Amino acid sequence: MTTIDLSSAVETNWAGNHRYRARRIEHPRTVEQVQHLVAAEPRVRALGSRHSFTDITDTDGVLVSLADLPTTVEVDAGSRTARVTGLAAYGDVARALQAQGWALPNLASLPHISVAGAVATGTHGSGDRNGSLATAVAALEVVRPDGSLVRIARGEPDFDGSVVSLGALGVVVALTLDVEPTYTVNQRVFTGLGWDTVVEHYDAITASAYSVSLFTHWGDGGVEQVWLKSRGDDGPADFHDALPAGATMHMLDGGDTRAVSAQLGEPGPWLDRLTHFRMEFTPSRGEELQSEYLVPRDRAVEAIEVMRGLGERIAPLLQVCELRTVAADDLWLSSSYGTDVTAFHFTWNRDVDGVYAVLPAIEEGLLPLGARPHWGKCFAADAGALAPLYPRFGDFLALRDRVDPDRVFGNTFLDRVLG
Protein backbone atom coordinates (compact mmCIF):
# COMPACT_ATOMS: atom_id res chain seq x y z
CA MET A 1 0.00 0.00 0.00
CA THR A 2 1.37 3.40 -1.02
CA THR A 3 0.99 6.46 1.24
CA ILE A 4 1.21 10.14 0.26
CA ASP A 5 1.80 12.44 3.25
CA LEU A 6 -0.08 15.66 2.50
CA SER A 7 1.81 17.62 5.14
CA SER A 8 4.74 17.67 2.71
CA ALA A 9 3.04 17.10 -0.65
CA VAL A 10 0.50 19.10 -2.64
CA GLU A 11 -2.36 17.18 -4.27
CA THR A 12 -5.24 18.85 -6.10
CA ASN A 13 -8.38 17.98 -7.97
CA TRP A 14 -8.41 17.67 -11.77
CA ALA A 15 -9.09 21.36 -12.36
CA GLY A 16 -6.45 22.49 -9.88
CA ASN A 17 -8.80 24.80 -7.98
CA HIS A 18 -8.94 22.70 -4.79
CA ARG A 19 -5.95 21.55 -2.74
CA TYR A 20 -6.75 18.50 -0.61
CA ARG A 21 -6.58 19.18 3.11
CA ALA A 22 -6.57 15.53 4.23
CA ARG A 23 -3.68 14.27 6.35
CA ARG A 24 -2.66 11.67 3.79
CA ILE A 25 -3.77 9.69 0.75
CA GLU A 26 -3.63 5.90 0.96
CA HIS A 27 -3.51 3.69 -2.13
CA PRO A 28 -4.65 0.20 -1.07
CA ARG A 29 -4.12 -2.68 -3.48
CA THR A 30 -6.89 -4.97 -2.24
CA VAL A 31 -10.45 -4.59 -1.01
CA GLU A 32 -9.34 -6.10 2.29
CA GLN A 33 -6.86 -3.24 2.73
CA VAL A 34 -9.68 -0.78 2.05
CA GLN A 35 -11.75 -2.47 4.75
CA HIS A 36 -8.91 -2.31 7.28
CA LEU A 37 -8.26 1.36 6.52
CA VAL A 38 -11.89 2.37 6.91
CA ALA A 39 -12.29 0.42 10.15
CA ALA A 40 -9.14 1.98 11.64
CA GLU A 41 -9.73 5.65 10.81
CA PRO A 42 -12.21 8.06 12.40
CA ARG A 43 -12.67 10.05 9.17
CA VAL A 44 -12.31 8.66 5.63
CA ARG A 45 -13.34 9.70 2.13
CA ALA A 46 -12.96 7.86 -1.16
CA LEU A 47 -10.92 9.62 -3.86
CA GLY A 48 -11.84 8.87 -7.45
CA SER A 49 -10.76 10.44 -10.74
CA ARG A 50 -10.69 13.89 -9.04
CA HIS A 51 -13.11 15.35 -11.54
CA SER A 52 -15.17 17.19 -8.93
CA PHE A 53 -14.81 20.94 -8.66
CA THR A 54 -15.36 21.36 -4.91
CA ASP A 55 -14.27 19.78 -1.62
CA ILE A 56 -16.84 16.97 -1.97
CA THR A 57 -14.14 14.29 -1.78
CA ASP A 58 -11.94 15.96 0.83
CA THR A 59 -11.69 15.19 4.57
CA ASP A 60 -9.76 16.19 7.66
CA GLY A 61 -8.81 12.53 7.94
CA VAL A 62 -7.59 10.06 5.33
CA LEU A 63 -8.35 9.88 1.62
CA VAL A 64 -8.58 6.37 0.19
CA SER A 65 -7.72 6.19 -3.50
CA LEU A 66 -8.83 3.09 -5.37
CA ALA A 67 -6.42 3.74 -8.24
CA ASP A 68 -4.20 0.77 -7.36
CA LEU A 69 -7.00 -1.77 -7.04
CA PRO A 70 -7.27 -4.21 -9.96
CA THR A 71 -9.91 -3.16 -12.47
CA THR A 72 -11.97 -5.89 -14.10
CA VAL A 73 -15.13 -5.90 -16.20
CA GLU A 74 -17.04 -9.18 -15.84
CA VAL A 75 -20.07 -9.61 -18.10
CA ASP A 76 -22.98 -11.85 -17.15
CA ALA A 77 -24.78 -12.37 -20.47
CA GLY A 78 -27.74 -14.05 -18.81
CA SER A 79 -28.62 -11.07 -16.62
CA ARG A 80 -27.25 -8.54 -19.15
CA THR A 81 -25.07 -6.95 -16.49
CA ALA A 82 -21.37 -6.27 -15.97
CA ARG A 83 -19.56 -6.11 -12.64
CA VAL A 84 -16.98 -3.32 -12.62
CA THR A 85 -14.32 -3.11 -9.90
CA GLY A 86 -11.78 -0.61 -8.61
CA LEU A 87 -11.33 2.92 -9.87
CA ALA A 88 -12.66 2.09 -13.33
CA ALA A 89 -12.97 4.96 -15.81
CA TYR A 90 -15.91 4.84 -18.20
CA GLY A 91 -13.57 4.83 -21.18
CA ASP A 92 -11.79 1.71 -19.94
CA VAL A 93 -15.06 -0.02 -19.08
CA ALA A 94 -16.47 0.85 -22.51
CA ARG A 95 -13.47 -0.65 -24.31
CA ALA A 96 -13.70 -3.86 -22.29
CA LEU A 97 -17.43 -4.16 -22.98
CA GLN A 98 -17.03 -3.45 -26.69
CA ALA A 99 -14.39 -6.18 -26.95
CA GLN A 100 -16.98 -8.64 -25.57
CA GLY A 101 -19.83 -7.40 -27.79
CA TRP A 102 -21.62 -5.34 -25.13
CA ALA A 103 -22.37 -1.69 -24.45
CA LEU A 104 -23.71 0.76 -21.90
CA PRO A 105 -26.93 2.63 -22.70
CA ASN A 106 -25.31 6.02 -22.24
CA LEU A 107 -22.08 7.84 -21.43
CA ALA A 108 -21.16 11.25 -20.05
CA SER A 109 -19.32 13.77 -22.20
CA LEU A 110 -15.99 12.71 -20.63
CA PRO A 111 -14.86 9.06 -20.74
CA HIS A 112 -12.11 9.88 -18.22
CA ILE A 113 -14.32 9.95 -15.11
CA SER A 114 -14.66 7.05 -12.70
CA VAL A 115 -17.84 5.01 -12.66
CA ALA A 116 -18.18 5.10 -8.87
CA GLY A 117 -17.67 8.87 -8.63
CA ALA A 118 -19.97 9.69 -11.53
CA VAL A 119 -22.74 7.52 -10.10
CA ALA A 120 -22.37 8.94 -6.58
CA THR A 121 -22.83 12.52 -7.83
CA GLY A 122 -25.66 11.88 -10.31
CA THR A 123 -23.57 12.57 -13.42
CA HIS A 124 -25.40 12.01 -16.71
CA GLY A 125 -25.21 11.86 -20.46
CA SER A 126 -28.02 13.14 -22.64
CA GLY A 127 -31.28 12.08 -24.22
CA ASP A 128 -35.00 12.53 -23.64
CA ARG A 129 -35.37 8.83 -22.81
CA ASN A 130 -31.97 8.30 -21.20
CA GLY A 131 -31.63 8.37 -17.44
CA SER A 132 -28.50 9.48 -15.60
CA LEU A 133 -25.54 7.11 -15.43
CA ALA A 134 -26.74 6.03 -11.99
CA THR A 135 -29.88 4.47 -13.47
CA ALA A 136 -27.73 1.75 -15.05
CA VAL A 137 -26.59 0.55 -11.62
CA ALA A 138 -28.05 -2.85 -10.64
CA ALA A 139 -25.97 -3.32 -7.48
CA LEU A 140 -23.30 -1.68 -5.34
CA GLU A 141 -20.57 -3.21 -3.17
CA VAL A 142 -19.77 -0.81 -0.35
CA VAL A 143 -17.35 -0.75 2.58
CA ARG A 144 -19.23 0.50 5.64
CA PRO A 145 -17.78 2.49 8.61
CA ASP A 146 -16.89 -0.67 10.55
CA GLY A 147 -15.01 -2.09 7.57
CA SER A 148 -17.71 -4.59 6.61
CA LEU A 149 -18.42 -5.16 2.91
CA VAL A 150 -22.09 -5.13 1.93
CA ARG A 151 -23.89 -5.60 -1.39
CA ILE A 152 -27.02 -3.55 -2.10
CA ALA A 153 -29.09 -4.58 -5.12
CA ARG A 154 -31.90 -2.98 -7.08
CA GLY A 155 -35.23 -3.66 -5.40
CA GLU A 156 -33.84 -3.79 -1.86
CA PRO A 157 -35.17 -1.21 0.64
CA ASP A 158 -32.06 1.01 0.81
CA PHE A 159 -31.07 0.81 -2.85
CA ASP A 160 -32.76 3.96 -4.19
CA GLY A 161 -31.13 6.00 -1.42
CA SER A 162 -27.70 4.41 -1.78
CA VAL A 163 -26.81 4.93 -5.45
CA VAL A 164 -26.49 8.73 -5.62
CA SER A 165 -25.00 8.96 -2.14
CA LEU A 166 -22.30 11.70 -2.35
CA GLY A 167 -19.91 9.22 -0.73
CA ALA A 168 -21.77 9.64 2.56
CA LEU A 169 -22.62 5.96 3.02
CA GLY A 170 -19.30 4.22 2.41
CA VAL A 171 -16.53 3.45 -0.06
CA VAL A 172 -17.88 1.85 -3.24
CA VAL A 173 -15.41 -0.82 -4.42
CA ALA A 174 -17.52 -2.40 -7.17
CA LEU A 175 -20.71 -1.79 -9.16
CA THR A 176 -22.89 -3.98 -11.32
CA LEU A 177 -24.18 -2.15 -14.40
CA ASP A 178 -26.93 -2.92 -16.90
CA VAL A 179 -25.52 -3.60 -20.37
CA GLU A 180 -26.95 -4.27 -23.82
CA PRO A 181 -25.57 -5.64 -27.11
CA THR A 182 -23.16 -3.28 -28.81
CA TYR A 183 -24.51 -0.72 -31.29
CA THR A 184 -23.31 2.06 -33.56
CA VAL A 185 -23.86 5.79 -33.31
CA ASN A 186 -23.37 8.64 -35.76
CA GLN A 187 -22.91 12.28 -34.82
CA ARG A 188 -23.90 15.35 -36.81
CA VAL A 189 -23.29 18.98 -35.88
CA PHE A 190 -25.40 21.95 -36.98
CA THR A 191 -24.66 25.64 -36.44
CA GLY A 192 -26.73 28.79 -35.93
CA LEU A 193 -30.02 27.76 -34.29
CA GLY A 194 -32.02 30.90 -33.47
CA TRP A 195 -33.61 31.53 -30.07
CA ASP A 196 -37.10 31.85 -31.53
CA THR A 197 -36.71 28.38 -33.05
CA VAL A 198 -35.39 26.93 -29.79
CA VAL A 199 -38.31 28.30 -27.80
CA GLU A 200 -40.98 27.35 -30.34
CA HIS A 201 -39.70 23.86 -31.12
CA TYR A 202 -37.86 22.91 -27.93
CA ASP A 203 -39.53 19.50 -27.51
CA ALA A 204 -38.97 18.57 -31.14
CA ILE A 205 -35.34 19.68 -30.98
CA THR A 206 -34.43 17.56 -27.95
CA ALA A 207 -36.35 14.57 -29.37
CA SER A 208 -34.55 14.73 -32.73
CA ALA A 209 -31.77 12.27 -31.81
CA TYR A 210 -30.78 9.70 -29.22
CA SER A 211 -28.63 12.37 -27.53
CA VAL A 212 -28.84 16.12 -28.16
CA SER A 213 -26.54 18.91 -26.93
CA LEU A 214 -27.08 22.63 -27.49
CA PHE A 215 -24.04 24.90 -27.04
CA THR A 216 -24.48 28.63 -26.46
CA HIS A 217 -22.92 31.74 -24.92
CA TRP A 218 -26.39 33.25 -24.27
CA GLY A 219 -25.90 36.03 -26.78
CA ASP A 220 -28.31 37.20 -29.46
CA GLY A 221 -26.83 34.67 -31.89
CA GLY A 222 -28.79 31.86 -30.24
CA VAL A 223 -27.40 28.33 -30.07
CA GLU A 224 -24.08 28.28 -31.91
CA GLN A 225 -23.74 24.48 -32.18
CA VAL A 226 -26.16 21.53 -31.97
CA TRP A 227 -24.60 18.08 -31.53
CA LEU A 228 -26.93 15.23 -32.54
CA LYS A 229 -25.95 11.66 -31.66
CA SER A 230 -28.19 9.10 -33.39
CA ARG A 231 -28.13 5.33 -33.14
CA GLY A 232 -27.29 3.39 -36.30
CA ASP A 233 -27.57 5.30 -39.56
CA ASP A 234 -30.45 7.53 -38.42
CA GLY A 235 -30.16 11.27 -38.08
CA PRO A 236 -31.55 14.38 -39.77
CA ALA A 237 -29.95 15.76 -42.92
CA ASP A 238 -31.27 19.22 -42.10
CA PHE A 239 -32.23 20.85 -38.82
CA HIS A 240 -34.72 23.73 -38.56
CA ASP A 241 -32.94 27.03 -39.38
CA ALA A 242 -29.47 25.68 -38.53
CA LEU A 243 -26.80 24.78 -41.07
CA PRO A 244 -24.82 21.52 -41.21
CA ALA A 245 -21.19 21.85 -40.15
CA GLY A 246 -18.80 21.18 -43.02
CA ALA A 247 -15.91 20.15 -40.75
CA THR A 248 -15.36 18.71 -37.27
CA MET A 249 -16.08 21.30 -34.60
CA HIS A 250 -15.03 21.85 -30.98
CA MET A 251 -17.57 23.49 -28.69
CA LEU A 252 -14.89 25.76 -27.20
CA ASP A 253 -13.40 28.57 -29.25
CA GLY A 254 -9.95 27.52 -30.41
CA GLY A 255 -10.30 24.01 -29.02
CA ASP A 256 -8.30 21.16 -30.58
CA THR A 257 -10.72 19.30 -32.85
CA ARG A 258 -8.59 16.15 -32.57
CA ALA A 259 -9.84 15.87 -28.98
CA VAL A 260 -13.55 15.56 -29.82
CA SER A 261 -15.52 12.52 -30.90
CA ALA A 262 -16.08 11.82 -34.61
CA GLN A 263 -18.71 13.93 -36.36
CA LEU A 264 -19.91 14.42 -39.97
CA GLY A 265 -22.46 11.58 -39.73
CA GLU A 266 -20.11 8.62 -40.08
CA PRO A 267 -21.42 5.68 -37.96
CA GLY A 268 -19.02 4.12 -35.48
CA PRO A 269 -18.97 2.22 -32.19
CA TRP A 270 -21.12 3.71 -29.43
CA LEU A 271 -18.12 4.41 -27.16
CA ASP A 272 -16.49 6.61 -29.84
CA ARG A 273 -19.57 8.81 -30.40
CA LEU A 274 -21.63 9.11 -27.18
CA THR A 275 -18.85 11.01 -25.40
CA HIS A 276 -17.84 14.49 -26.53
CA PHE A 277 -14.14 13.88 -25.96
CA ARG A 278 -11.63 11.17 -26.80
CA MET A 279 -10.01 9.24 -23.95
CA GLU A 280 -6.46 9.92 -25.13
CA PHE A 281 -6.83 13.73 -25.02
CA THR A 282 -7.32 16.20 -22.17
CA PRO A 283 -11.07 16.86 -22.13
CA SER A 284 -12.43 20.37 -22.55
CA ARG A 285 -9.59 22.79 -21.69
CA GLY A 286 -8.40 21.31 -18.42
CA GLU A 287 -8.04 24.65 -16.63
CA GLU A 288 -11.64 25.48 -15.90
CA LEU A 289 -14.50 25.34 -13.43
CA GLN A 290 -17.89 23.78 -14.07
CA SER A 291 -21.40 24.30 -12.73
CA GLU A 292 -24.65 22.63 -13.69
CA TYR A 293 -28.31 23.07 -12.79
CA LEU A 294 -30.96 20.54 -13.77
CA VAL A 295 -34.33 22.19 -14.35
CA PRO A 296 -37.65 20.32 -14.58
CA ARG A 297 -38.35 19.74 -18.25
CA ASP A 298 -41.60 21.70 -18.24
CA ARG A 299 -39.78 24.81 -16.95
CA ALA A 300 -36.91 24.66 -19.47
CA VAL A 301 -38.12 27.51 -21.69
CA GLU A 302 -38.54 29.75 -18.63
CA ALA A 303 -35.01 28.85 -17.55
CA ILE A 304 -33.69 29.74 -21.01
CA GLU A 305 -35.22 33.20 -20.69
CA VAL A 306 -33.67 33.59 -17.22
CA MET A 307 -30.25 32.76 -18.58
CA ARG A 308 -30.60 35.02 -21.59
CA GLY A 309 -31.24 37.85 -19.14
CA LEU A 310 -27.98 37.03 -17.35
CA GLY A 311 -25.95 36.58 -20.52
CA GLU A 312 -24.03 39.84 -20.41
CA ARG A 313 -23.21 39.44 -16.73
CA ILE A 314 -21.72 35.97 -17.05
CA ALA A 315 -20.08 36.46 -20.47
CA PRO A 316 -16.62 37.46 -19.14
CA LEU A 317 -16.42 34.20 -17.16
CA LEU A 318 -18.10 31.77 -19.54
CA GLN A 319 -16.32 29.43 -21.95
CA VAL A 320 -19.56 27.80 -23.09
CA CYS A 321 -22.93 26.59 -21.80
CA GLU A 322 -24.47 23.27 -22.83
CA LEU A 323 -28.13 22.23 -22.61
CA ARG A 324 -29.01 18.52 -22.45
CA THR A 325 -32.01 16.49 -21.34
CA VAL A 326 -32.17 13.62 -18.83
CA ALA A 327 -35.05 11.25 -18.08
CA ALA A 328 -36.63 10.96 -14.63
CA ASP A 329 -35.58 8.33 -12.10
CA ASP A 330 -36.36 7.11 -8.57
CA LEU A 331 -32.96 7.69 -6.92
CA TRP A 332 -33.43 9.90 -3.88
CA LEU A 333 -30.63 12.44 -4.35
CA SER A 334 -30.61 12.32 -8.14
CA SER A 335 -31.02 15.70 -9.80
CA SER A 336 -33.64 14.06 -12.03
CA TYR A 337 -35.56 12.38 -9.21
CA GLY A 338 -39.23 12.18 -10.13
CA THR A 339 -39.06 14.46 -13.17
CA ASP A 340 -37.55 14.75 -16.64
CA VAL A 341 -35.03 17.59 -16.65
CA THR A 342 -33.00 19.91 -18.84
CA ALA A 343 -29.42 20.31 -17.66
CA PHE A 344 -27.83 23.77 -17.95
CA HIS A 345 -24.11 23.09 -17.85
CA PHE A 346 -21.57 25.93 -17.52
CA THR A 347 -17.89 25.64 -18.38
CA TRP A 348 -16.21 28.61 -16.72
CA ASN A 349 -12.79 30.20 -16.79
CA ARG A 350 -10.85 29.10 -13.71
CA ASP A 351 -11.73 32.22 -11.76
CA VAL A 352 -12.99 30.95 -8.42
CA ASP A 353 -13.95 34.33 -6.96
CA GLY A 354 -15.61 35.50 -10.16
CA VAL A 355 -17.63 32.32 -10.65
CA TYR A 356 -18.86 32.20 -7.06
CA ALA A 357 -19.85 35.86 -7.35
CA VAL A 358 -22.30 35.11 -10.18
CA LEU A 359 -23.65 31.76 -8.94
CA PRO A 360 -26.13 33.37 -6.51
CA ALA A 361 -27.73 35.31 -9.37
CA ILE A 362 -28.06 32.13 -11.45
CA GLU A 363 -29.53 30.26 -8.51
CA GLU A 364 -31.91 33.12 -7.73
CA GLY A 365 -33.33 32.65 -11.22
CA LEU A 366 -33.21 28.86 -11.57
CA LEU A 367 -33.84 27.36 -8.12
CA PRO A 368 -37.40 28.79 -7.90
CA LEU A 369 -38.09 26.83 -11.11
CA GLY A 370 -37.09 23.65 -9.28
CA ALA A 371 -33.49 23.48 -10.52
CA ARG A 372 -31.15 21.16 -8.64
CA PRO A 373 -27.37 21.68 -8.74
CA HIS A 374 -25.02 18.94 -9.88
CA TRP A 375 -23.46 17.61 -6.67
CA GLY A 376 -19.91 17.45 -8.06
CA LYS A 377 -19.73 20.94 -9.54
CA CYS A 378 -19.66 24.52 -8.27
CA PHE A 379 -22.80 25.86 -6.63
CA ALA A 380 -23.66 28.19 -3.76
CA ALA A 381 -26.85 26.69 -2.32
CA ASP A 382 -26.76 25.15 1.15
CA ALA A 383 -28.92 22.53 2.87
CA GLY A 384 -31.68 25.02 3.60
CA ALA A 385 -32.13 25.79 -0.09
CA LEU A 386 -31.55 22.22 -1.30
CA ALA A 387 -33.80 20.22 1.03
CA PRO A 388 -37.11 21.49 -0.45
CA LEU A 389 -35.95 20.46 -3.94
CA TYR A 390 -35.64 16.74 -3.05
CA PRO A 391 -38.82 14.96 -1.86
CA ARG A 392 -36.72 12.17 -0.28
CA PHE A 393 -34.11 14.45 1.32
CA GLY A 394 -35.29 13.58 4.83
CA ASP A 395 -35.29 9.88 4.01
CA PHE A 396 -31.67 10.11 2.88
CA LEU A 397 -30.70 11.86 6.12
CA ALA A 398 -32.37 9.07 8.09
CA LEU A 399 -30.54 6.44 6.03
CA ARG A 400 -27.24 8.21 6.65
CA ASP A 401 -27.93 8.42 10.39
CA ARG A 402 -28.52 4.67 10.44
CA VAL A 403 -25.53 3.70 8.27
CA ASP A 404 -22.94 6.23 9.49
CA PRO A 405 -24.06 7.75 12.82
CA ASP A 406 -20.47 8.73 13.73
CA ARG A 407 -19.89 10.49 10.39
CA VAL A 408 -16.84 8.47 9.43
CA PHE A 409 -17.56 9.55 5.84
CA GLY A 410 -18.53 13.09 6.78
CA ASN A 411 -16.78 16.28 5.68
CA THR A 412 -17.36 20.02 5.41
CA PHE A 413 -19.06 19.66 2.01
CA LEU A 414 -21.68 17.31 3.43
CA ASP A 415 -22.14 19.59 6.42
CA ARG A 416 -23.01 22.41 4.01
CA VAL A 417 -25.32 20.55 1.65
CA LEU A 418 -26.99 18.07 4.01
CA GLY A 419 -26.96 20.09 7.23
Mind listing the pLDDT tens digit for each residue in 133-146?
999 999 999 999 99
Question: Given this model, what pLDDT does residue 190 score?
Answer: 98
Residue ending a domain, choose from 35, 65, 95: 65
Residue 3's pLDDT band (cuts 50, 70, 90): confident
- The domain total for the chain is 3
Mean per-residue pLDDT of the chain: 95
Q: Same structural domain for residues 174 and 196?
A: no
Q: Same structural domain for residues 79 and 131?
A: yes
Distances (CA, A) of 387 to 17, 23, 51, 402: 27, 31, 25, 19
> What mean pLDDT do residues 212-233 have?
96
Question: Given this model, what pLDDT does residue 235 score?
Answer: 81
- With beta carbons less than 8 A apart as the criterion, state whether 18 and 12 touch: yes
CATH code where residue 133 lies: 3.30.465.10
**What domain range includes position 22?**
2-65
Q: Same structural domain for residues 36 and 101?
A: no
d(CA 281, CA 256): 9
Question: Given this model, what pLDDT does residue 28 score?
Answer: 96
Residue 406 inside a domain? The answer is no
d(CA 208, CA 211): 8
Residue 325's pLDDT band (cuts 50, 70, 90): very high
DSSP 73-111: EEEETTTTEEEEESS-BHHHHHHHHHHTTEE-S---S-T
Q: Same structural domain for residues 130 and 48?
A: no
> What mean pLDDT do residues 86-115 have?
94
Mind listing the pLDDT tens digit for each residue in 155-175?
999 999 999 999 999 999 999
Residue 412 inside a domain? The answer is no
Q: Same structural domain for residues 209 and 290?
A: yes
Residue 408 inside a domain? The answer is no
Residue 386 inside a domain? The answer is no
The sign of the CA dihedral 188, 127, 173, 73 is: negative
Question: Given this model, what pLDDT does residue 314 score?
Answer: 97
- With beta carbons less than 8 A apart as the criterion, state whether 211 and 229 touch: yes
Residue 394 inside a domain? The answer is no
Residue 8's pLDDT band (cuts 50, 70, 90): confident
Question: Given this model, what pLDDT does residue 394 score?
Answer: 98
CATH code where residue 339 lies: 3.30.70.2520
Measured from the Cβ of residue 268, the count of other Cβ atoms closer than 10 Å reads 13
Phi-psi region of 231 (alpha: psi -120 to 50; beta: other; left: phi over 0): beta
Residue 148's pLDDT band (cuts 50, 70, 90): very high
Question: Given this model, what pLDDT does residue 4 score?
Answer: 85
Q: Same structural domain for residues 224 and 332?
A: yes
Q: Same structural domain for residues 104 and 138?
A: yes
Q: Same structural domain for residues 150 and 199?
A: no
Q: Same structural domain for residues 168 and 298?
A: no
Question: Given this model, what pLDDT does residue 340 score?
Answer: 98
Q: Same structural domain for residues 42 and 14?
A: yes
